[in-house]
């Protein structure tokens, strides 16, 4: 009954078109990309490089996982990369040995982590409140939240530390980001839990339903407002987790963490097959999308292409994915009208 | 009023005042047929409308009036038969073709843009250009708008934003727009439903002027009094056929009503045999606490002082014409809309909150538009069936969905509603036929074991076979003790299915018929606007 299984059933009705749909398609795309880069670039297939690809994609995995919830609800969260910066600064303001509120205090790390997760979740929930209760367009709400969070983060750092970044974070905290041994399982585990929530939990199924048709869900007794708030809060929480990872890995708390990731976050989810129109989506698909973008970025860098060219290529890939999403929806409607006459 | 009737054409002649002579109709439908998904909507309709005359088209909902006009307006092609315009063959492929040929359509729901000015609305299809360049000649537009407004007797600045206008004024703007396209034929679909008495008089005066100027008018209305007052000719449609066509003077309100409904439909609605005879026998002793008590529910402009009781095991029908406020009442009962005053009690306790609270109390609601707000069309059959009751199939602590329990539940309920075997559980409901889609909606609510079920047009777009199944399921649910409110525009459906029928008219309850008093003429009379009902001599 979960959407990631249902491609088999759909294949029976729609034939080869379904190949461009779902997990199997993304697996094939990833295998093809891997094979192409591995053959063309000896450097690419070295274990050290592959490990780098995986580890460096973790923050993106977390952000895109949170984004998937929001996209499935037929919304969009443009604020999560900006929240990374704000959350990072909050952590630094608690933990930094220079200016931190709990500098060198034994409770600094647990309190700091808690503050970070709470900040992200609260900001996400505020987004959700505006979308669900105040009926504001998600695009507008999260765009302004992004501006607000970005500005607030810079202002806080300047007000407290008169610098751009905060250093001297506790050693225990920094250990979270070393070598991928801690943050790897942490991020993958969090994404797995998210996958189960979205695919198998009551809230997850409700989220799919209201993404497909919010009015039908509402009239069937689904607590639509609460579910929407939940989706945005989860997106905020995963932004906070990404902030923890980036802050620990880069050993600084900075308002600029996460900022360049916005296009990749939405791109990864869309490449995976999550629909911008809502209803269809899966964290597993998104993970495939993240892996694909990470391989693409790494492989193109190894080809000595400039950053600008890489960005252009990524943009084209994401555009193609959005086009594919549009086609999938079109196929579904046209095949439906044919099936209508057959089945009726 | 500068251009008001300077030519003073010959007064209402029985036929066209132009040179073509009396024999050539402005529009003629010749044996026009049309069906939708196999269901015939128009059967060999032959009809004429003459210049300088008003042809009124009457008939029940679904009789084919709108389709007939949509064929003329180029919205829908005819399957067979032909159209002639002023004697010449005419086959519009798009609304644009129709407009170019001089057909103007004033729709029931006005096609105007509230965010634009009156002048802009009048020129949506042909903004005057400045010397052929893509710049709008605003001065020309304003001048032409003022002239058109003058023709309909509307004294407004052309730059007035449309949203400042009343409904009646907007209606006149729509007619002015039709005049702006040099229309020869003007079609008005239920133009008076939202007009005040004064606005209605003003409209009639204008329509008479337009007729006298030589336009052919086609006037669609449920208001038989208006029809008899305004029309020169009347055509009655029933089940897609013209059952009567003649001069208005030859008709009375009573005759129109009996022409509109007079048909034996037992074979069309097999469920008519279904309702158990014991329903009325049970009533005296087994009433108990009513399932639903509605007392004085009012919401300004929508419903007024609605009071009724829905008993256990009762199938209560609610009849009314479109726009009578039936669907709005259903949504008030289900907590989607709020009511300004009144009380609703379910099983003796007050009912409050939105749909979620009502569902938890054991209420269920099948909406009148399953594609819009009943189904998640791209979600699977399973997801749609489980939408209201998924929580019952969850393991408690983490609220994870128990896949095996869901599968078993869906298998059981799809047997019960006899969902087509072709409908796979993982398949998107969009691909199902209307009947199977409606069965999915019904299955969803049957799983919730509702105490009160509201069905709004439960068989719209549903094939006959599935109808019988739906009637059976609804009857079974009532027999198990639920109270069921069935809203329908189809009299026969209600007579065949229900134990009692309420009638709504213009937001008020206008009649109540017990099972032994069911009568098509009385139901229709109670639903039609007050004066038409009086004309038929039936009770109010």
Q: Is A196 in the B-facing interface, judged by CB distances under 8 Å?
A: yes
Cα A304 vs. chain centroid, distance in angstroms?
A: 27
| A173 in any annotated domain | yes
- The yes-or-no verdict on residue B13 having pLDDT over 60 is no
Size of the A and B interface in Cβ pairs below 8 Å: 126
Separation of alpha carbons B123 and B141, rounded Å: 7
Which residues of chain B neighbour A225 with C-beta distances below 8 Å?
none
Nearest alpha carbon to residue B453 among B423, B482, B476? B482
| A152 in any annotated domain | yes
Q: What is the DSSP letter of B493?
A: H
| A27 in any annotated domain | yes
User: What pLDDT is stored for residue A207 in this prediction?
Assistant: 96
Cα A246 vs. chain centroid, distance in angstroms?
A: 14
Section B193-222 average pLDDT = 84
| A284 in any annotated domain | yes
Judge: A209–B407 Cβ closer than 8 Å, yes or no: no
* Residue of A201, A205, A336 with shortest CB distance to B430: A336
User: What pLDDT is stored for residue B94 in this prediction?
Assistant: 86
Closest approach of chain B CAs to the CA of A212, in angstroms?
A: 5
Section B160-180 average pLDDT = 83
Contact B99, B110 (CB under 8 A): no
Interface of A with B in 296-325 (CB under 8 A): none
Judge: A201–B431 Cβ closer than 8 Å, yes or no: no
Q: Closest-CA residue in chain B for A275?
A: B378
- The yes-or-no verdict on residue B274 having pLDDT over 80 is no
CA torsion angle B359 B365 B369 B371 (round to 10): 40
- The yes-or-no verdict on residue B100 having pLDDT over 70 is yes
Separation of alpha carbons B389 and B392, rounded Å: 6
Interface of A with B in 237-256 (CB under 8 A): none
The HSE-up count of residue B132 (CA atoms within 13 Å, CB side) is: 0
| A244 in any annotated domain | yes
Section A24-42 average pLDDT = 90
Higher pLDDT, B159 or B537: B159
- The yes-or-no verdict on residue A5 having pLDDT over 50 is no
Residue A123 sits in a domain whose CATH number is: 1.10.3470
Q: What angle do CA B204, B210, B215 make, to 5 degrees?
A: 130
Judge: B356–A223 Cβ closer than 8 Å, yes or no: yes
* Residue of A205, A209, A344 with shortest CB distance to B401: A205
> If you average pLDDT over every residue of chain B, what do you get?
82
Which residues of chain B neighbour A212 with C-beta distances below 8 Å?
376-379
- The yes-or-no verdict on residue B494 having pLDDT over 80 is yes
Q: Which residue has the tokens 């003022």?
A: B146
**Predicted confidence band at B61 (pLDDT cuts at 50, 70, 90)?**
low
Q: Is A109 in the B-facing interface, judged by CB distances under 8 Å?
A: no
- Mind listing the pLDDT tens digit for each residue in A288-306? 999 999 999 999 999 999 9
User: What pLDDT is stored for residue B183 in this prediction?
Assistant: 84
Contact B536, B512 (CB under 8 A): no
User: What pLDDT is stored for residue B62 in this prediction?
Assistant: 63
User: What pLDDT is stored for residue B193 in this prediction?
Assistant: 66
Asked whether the domain spanning B270-376+449-536 has the same topology as the one spanning B27-261, the reply is: yes
**Predicted confidence band at B279 (pLDDT cuts at 50, 70, 90)?**
very low
- The yes-or-no verdict on residue B72 having pLDDT over 50 is yes
Q: What are phi and psi of A242, to 5 degrees?
A: -60, -35
Judge: A213–B334 Cβ closer than 8 Å, yes or no: no
Which residues of chain A neighbour B356 with C-beta distances below 8 Å?
218, 221-223
Number of other residues whose CB lies within 10 A of the CB of residue B137? 15
Q: Is A203 in the B-facing interface, judged by CB distances under 8 Å?
A: yes
Closest approach of chain B CAs to the CA of A77, in angstroms?
A: 23
Separation of alpha carbons B119 and B123, rounded Å: 7
**Which of A81-90, A327-336, B17-26 has the highest average model confidence (pLDDT)?**
A81-90
Q: Is A259 in the B-facing interface, judged by CB distances under 8 Å?
A: no
* Residue of B372, B380, B433 with shortest CB distance to A1: B380
- Mind listing the pLDDT tens digit for each residue in B430-472? 877 778 899 999 999 999 999 999 999 998 777 666 777 888 8
Q: Is the dihedral of CA B354, B357, B359, B361 positive or negative?
A: negative
Cα B471 vs. chain centroid, distance in angstroms?
A: 22
**Three-state DSSP class for A245?**
helix
**Predicted confidence band at B247 (pLDDT cuts at 50, 70, 90)?**
very high
Q: What is the CATH number of domain B27-261?
A: 3.40.50.300
Domain count, chain A: 1
- The yes-or-no verdict on residue A46 having pLDDT over 80 is yes
Closest approach of chain B CAs to the CA of A334, in angstroms?
A: 10
- The yes-or-no verdict on residue B95 having pLDDT over 80 is yes
Judge: B377–A5 Cβ closer than 8 Å, yes or no: no
User: What pLDDT is stored for residue B179 in this prediction?
Assistant: 79
- Mind listing the pLDDT tens digit for each residue in A234-250? 999 999 999 999 999 99
Q: Is A217 in the B-facing interface, judged by CB distances under 8 Å?
A: yes
Section B123-128 average pLDDT = 76
- The yes-or-no verdict on residue B346 having pLDDT over 70 is yes
The whole domain housing A288 covers 7-336
To the nearest whole percent, how much of chain B has pLDDT over 90? 31
Choose the weakest-confidence range: B1-15, B26-40, B202-216, B265-279.
B1-15
* Domain boundaries, given as residue ranges, for chain B: 27-261, 270-376+449-536
| A341 in any annotated domain | no
Judge: A212–B356 Cβ closer than 8 Å, yes or no: no
Section B326-347 average pLDDT = 93
Nearest alpha carbon to residue A271 among A199, A320, A198, A310? A320
Closest approach of chain A CAs to the CA of B390, in angstroms?
A: 7
- CATH number 3.40.50.300 is the correct assignment for the domain at B270-376+449-536: yes
Higher pLDDT, B302 or B275: B302
Separation of alpha carbons A258 and A63, rounded Å: 9
Separation of alpha carbons B101 and B88, rounded Å: 11
**Predicted confidence band at B108 (pLDDT cuts at 50, 70, 90)?**
low
User: What pLDDT is stored for residue A283 in this prediction?
Assistant: 95
- The yes-or-no verdict on residue B384 having pLDDT over 90 is yes
Separation of alpha carbons A274 and A290, rounded Å: 12
Closest approach of chain A CAs to the CA of B404, in angstroms?
A: 10
To the nearest whole percent, how much of chain A has pLDDT over 90? 69
DSSP A251-272: TSB-TTTTGGGHHHHHHHHHHH
User: What pLDDT is stored for residue B110 in this prediction?
Assistant: 67
The HSE-up count of residue B122 (CA atoms within 13 Å, CB side) is: 34
- List CB contacts of B231: < 8 A, sequence separation 6 or more: B54, B55, B56, B219, B248
**Predicted confidence band at B39 (pLDDT cuts at 50, 70, 90)?**
low
- Mind listing the pLDDT tens digit for each residue in A94-143? 999 888 888 888 899 999 999 999 999 999 999 999 999 999 999 999 99
* Residue of A12, A201, A343 with shortest CB distance to B433: A343
**Predicted confidence band at A61 (pLDDT cuts at 50, 70, 90)?**
very high
Residue B464 tokens read as 């006959």
Section A215-231 average pLDDT = 96
DSSP A28-76: HHHHHHHHHHHHH-TTTTSHHHHHHHHHHTHHHHHHHHHHHHHHHTT--
Judge: B398–A220 Cβ closer than 8 Å, yes or no: no
ipTM: 0.86
| A78 in any annotated domain | yes
Q: Is the dihedral of CA B388, B393, B398, B404 positive or negative?
A: negative
Judge: A221–B355 Cβ closer than 8 Å, yes or no: yes
Nearest alpha carbon to residue A321 among A284, A281, A280, A272? A272
List C-alpha distances in Å: B370 to A213, A344, B259. 11, 17, 32
Q: What are phi and psi of B171, to 5 degrees?
A: -60, -45
* Residue of A12, A201, A340 with shortest CB distance to B399: A201
């Amino acid at each position: 009954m979960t959407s990631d299984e249902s491609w088999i059933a759909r294949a029976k009705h729609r034939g080869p078109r379904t190949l461009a749909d779902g997990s199997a398609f993304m697996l094939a795309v990833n295998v093809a990309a891997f094979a192409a880069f591995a053959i063309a670039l000896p450097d690419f297939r070295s274990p050290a490089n592959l490990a780098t690809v995986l580890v460096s994609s973790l923050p993106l995995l977390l952000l895109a996982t949170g984004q998937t919830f929001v996209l499935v609800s037929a919304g969009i969260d443009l604020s999560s990369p900006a929240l990374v910066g704000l959350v990072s600064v909050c952590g630094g303001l608690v933990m930094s040995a220079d200016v931190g509120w709990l500098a060198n205090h034994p409770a600094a790390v647990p309190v700091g982590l808690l503050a970070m997760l709470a900040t992200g979740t609260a900001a996400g929930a505020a987004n959700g409140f505006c979308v669900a209760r105040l009926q504001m367009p998600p695009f507008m709400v999260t765009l302004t939240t992004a501006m607000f969070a970005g500005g607030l983060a810079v202002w806080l750092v300047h007000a407290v530390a008169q610098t751009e970044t905060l250093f001297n974070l506790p050693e225990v905290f920094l250990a979270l980001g070393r070598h991928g041994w801690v943050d790897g399982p942490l991020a993958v585990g969090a994404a797995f839990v998210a996958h189960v929530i979205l695919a198998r939990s009551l809230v997850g199924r409700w989220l799919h339903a209201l993404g497909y048709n919010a009015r039908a869900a509402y009239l069937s007794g689904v607590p639509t407002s609460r579910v929407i708030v939940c989706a945005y809060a989860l997106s905020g929480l995963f932004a906070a987790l990404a902030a923890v990872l980036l802050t620990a890995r880069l050993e600084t708390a900075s308002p600029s963490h996460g900022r360049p990731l916005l296009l990749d976050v939405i791109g990864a989810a869309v490449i995976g097959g999550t629909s911008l129109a809502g209803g269809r989506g899966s964290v597993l698909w998104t993970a495939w999308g993240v892996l694909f973008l990470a391989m693409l970025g790494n492989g193109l860098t190894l080809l000595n292409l400039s950053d600008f060219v890489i960005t252009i290529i990524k943009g084209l890939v994401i555009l193609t994915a959005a086009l594919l999403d549009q086609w999938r929806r079109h196929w579904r409607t046209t095949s439906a009208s044919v099936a209508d006459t057959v089945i009726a | 009023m500068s251009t008001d009737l300077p030519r003073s054409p010959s007064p209402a002649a029985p036929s066209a005042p132009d040179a073509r002579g009396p024999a050539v109709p402005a529009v003629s439908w010749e044996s026009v047929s049309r069906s939708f998904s196999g269901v015939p909507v128009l059967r060999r309709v032959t009809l004429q409308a003459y210049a300088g005359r008003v042809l009124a088209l009457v008939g029940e909902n679904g009789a084919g009036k709108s389709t007939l006009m949509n064929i003329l307006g180029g919205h829908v092609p005819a399957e067979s038969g032909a159209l002639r315009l002023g004697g010449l063959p005419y086959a519009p492929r798009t609304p644009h073709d129709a407009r170019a040929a001089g057909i103007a359509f004033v729709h029931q729901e006005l096609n105007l843009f509230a965010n634009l000015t009156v002048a802009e609305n009048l020129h949506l299809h042909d903004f005057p250009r400045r010397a052929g360049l893509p710049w709008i000649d605003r001065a020309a537009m304003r001048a032409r708008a003022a002239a058109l407004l003058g023709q309909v007797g509307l004294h407004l600045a052309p730059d007035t934003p449309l949203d400042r206008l009343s409904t009646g004024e907007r209606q006149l703007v729509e007619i002015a727009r039709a005049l702006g396209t040099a229309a020869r034929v003007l079609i008005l679909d239920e133009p008076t439903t939202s007009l005040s008495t004064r606005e209605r008089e003003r409209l009639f005066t204008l329509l008479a002027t337009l007729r006298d100027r030589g336009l052919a008018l086609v006037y669609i209305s449920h208001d038989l009094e208006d029809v008899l007052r305004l029309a020169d000719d009347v055509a009655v449609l029933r089940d897609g056929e013209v059952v009567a066509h003649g001069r208005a003077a030859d008709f009375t309100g009573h005759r129109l009503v009996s022409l509109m409904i007079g048909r034996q439909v037992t074979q069309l609605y097999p469920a008519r045999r279904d309702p158990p005879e014991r329903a009325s026998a049970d009533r005296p002793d087994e009433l108990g606490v009513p399932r639903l008590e509605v007392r004085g529910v009012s919401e300004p402009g929508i419903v007024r002082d609605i009071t009724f009781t829905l008993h256990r095991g009762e199938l209560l029908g609610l009849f009314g014409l479109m726009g009578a406020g039936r669907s709005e009442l259903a949504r008030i009962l289900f907590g989607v809309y709020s009511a300004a005053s009144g009380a609703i009690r379910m099983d003796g306790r007050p009912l409050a909150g939105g749909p979620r609270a009502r569902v938890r109390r054991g209420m269920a609601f099948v909406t009148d538009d399953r594609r819009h707000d009943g189904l998640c069309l791209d979600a699977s059959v399973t997801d749609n069936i489980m939408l209201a009751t998924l929580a019952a199939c969850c393991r408690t602590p983490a609220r994870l969905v128990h896949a095996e329990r869901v599968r078993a539940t869906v298998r059981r309920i799809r047997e019960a509603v006899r969902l087509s075997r072709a409908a796979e559980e993982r398949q998107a409901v969009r691909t199902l036929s209307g009947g199977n889609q409606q069965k999915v909606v019904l299955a969803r609510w049957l799983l919730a074991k509702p105490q009160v079920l509201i069905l709004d047009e439960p068989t719209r777009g549903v094939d006959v076979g599935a109808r019988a199944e739906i009637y059976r399921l609804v009857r079974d649910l009532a027999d198990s003790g639920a109270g069921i409110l069935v809203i329908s525009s189809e009299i026969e459906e209600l007579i065949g299915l229900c134990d009692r029928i309420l009638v709504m008219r213009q937001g008020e309850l206008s009649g109540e018929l017990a099972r032994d008093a069911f009568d098509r003429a009385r139901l229709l009379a109670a639903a039609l606007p007050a004066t038409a009902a009086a004309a038929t001599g039936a009770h109010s």
